[in-house]
């Protein structure tokens, strides 16, 4: 198996982390290209070289992007589904469509979490949109986040109580990441709701303790959460 190439911003978990986690759990060899030195073709320029490529029939608008041989694909949910299908890490039959449905829902809530600190747009710094962020963030912390967690709790419950779709598949890794991110960004809101979503919490813990994931989380390959990424801890946006 040749190495996959992941192209994603080198200093944040961001959306790239959903892909990294799948690659790590699969034990698939990959190069996190933008984190390599420029002398090895790495660094941020490696991303700019690929994205919005004018001379491609299938250009990618934004990272994460995954290269598998000559194939370059983008959109986080699409990349995760591609890897899941290729490595038999999807539910049988048409179950891949249900997995993708959940993955796209995780993408939705991830975007909502991002928009709590950037409600007006990514062209402005947080400090330039703090007033709107306070409204958006507190509304997310007060109710919206719980709605999403309850949704995933019900899905796990209906499908046997352990994983989103009965047996483990790639989407469970993304739910782990979502929960870790929400707990980091909104610790007070998360603690307030934690007891109501025991299956979600148990799934998070089960994924974190899988040998390959645990080794990854403990390694320098796992970039710590920070205030440049999607899940940012701004206490003023959390519950009081
Ligand atoms: N829907 C896309 C969103 C991709 C995206 O927004 N990527 C961000 C980083 S997480 C980016 O670099 N965007 C640059 C841009 O939109 O110009 C996905 O899920 O992959």
Atom index in ligand 1 nearest the CA of residue 114 equals 10
How far apart (Å, rounded) are the C-alpha atoms in residues 236 and 240?
A: 8
Quick check: 209 pLDDT over 80? yes
Q: From 7, 13, 63, give the residue whose CB has the most ligand 1 atoms within 8 Å, as the site to mutate.
A: 63
Cα within 13 Å of Cα(55), Cβ side: 1
Ligand 1 centroid–CA 240 distance in Å is 31
The residue whose CA has the least distance to atom 20 of ligand 1 is: 75
Which of 230, 235, 234, 187 shows the shortest CA–CA distance to 11?
Answer: 230
pLDDT digits (tens, 9 = 90+) for 78-97: 999 999 999 999 999 999 99
Atom index in ligand 1 nearest the CA of residue 14 equals 10
- Is residue 233 very low, low, confident or very high in pLDDT (cuts 50, 70, 90)? very high
- Is residue 49 very low, low, confident or very high in pLDDT (cuts 50, 70, 90)? confident
Which of 25, 45, 26, 110 shows the shortest CA–CA distance to 76?
Answer: 110
Q: What is the pLDDT of residue 2?
A: 66
Ligand 1 centroid–CA 75 distance in Å is 8
Ligand 1 centroid–CA 111 distance in Å is 10
The residue whose CA has the least distance to atom 10 of ligand 1 is: 15
Q: Exposure string (b/e) for 98-119, b if CB count within 10 Å is 16 or more?
A: bbbebbebbbebbeebbbbbbb
Backbone angles phi, psi at 231, to 5 degrees: -95, 100
- Is residue 1 very low, low, confident or very high in pLDDT (cuts 50, 70, 90)? low
Ligand 1 centroid–CA 13 distance in Å is 12
Report the percentage of the chain scoring pLDDT > 90.
Answer: 94
Ligand 1 centroid–CA 62 distance in Å is 5
Ligand 1 centroid–CA 42 distance in Å is 19
pTM flag (> 0.85): yes
Q: From 44, 62, 75, give the residue whose CB has the most ligand 1 atoms within 8 Å, as the site to mutate.
A: 62
Ligand 1 centroid–CA 15 distance in Å is 7
Q: Which residues line ligand 1 (CB under 6 A)?
A: 14-15, 62-64, 75-76, 107
Q: What is the pLDDT of residue 50?
A: 81
């Amino acid at each position: 198996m040749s190495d996959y190439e992941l192209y994603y911003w080198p200093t944040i978990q961001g959306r790239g982390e959903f892909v990294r986690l799948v690659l790590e759990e699969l034990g698939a060899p990959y190069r996190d290209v933008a984190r390599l030195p420029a002398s090895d073709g790495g660094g941020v320029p490696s991303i700019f070289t690929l994205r919005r490529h004018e001379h491609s029939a299938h250009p990618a608008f934004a990272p994460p992007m995954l290269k598998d041989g000559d194939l370059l694909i983008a959109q986080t949910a699409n990349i995760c589904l591609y890897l899941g299908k290729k490595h038999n890490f999807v539910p049988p039959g048409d179950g891949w469509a249900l997995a993708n449905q959940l993955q796209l829902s995780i993408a939705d809530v991830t975007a909502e979490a991002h928009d709590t600190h950037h409600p007006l747009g990514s062209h402005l710094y947080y400090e330039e949109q703090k007033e709107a962020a306070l409204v958006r963030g507190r509304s997310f912390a007060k109710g919206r986040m719980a709605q999403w967690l309850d949704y995933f709790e019900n899905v796990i419950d209906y499908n046997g109580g352990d994983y989103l779709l009965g047996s483990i598949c790639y989407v469970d890794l993304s739910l782990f990441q979502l929960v870790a991110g929400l707990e980091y960004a909104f610790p007070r809101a998360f603690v307030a709701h934690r007891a109501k979503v025991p299956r979600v919490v148990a799934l998070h813990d089960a994924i974190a303790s899988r040998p390959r994931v645990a080794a990854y989380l403990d390694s320098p390959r796992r970039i710590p959460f920070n205030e440049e990424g999607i899940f940012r801890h701004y206490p003023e946006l959390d519950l009081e």
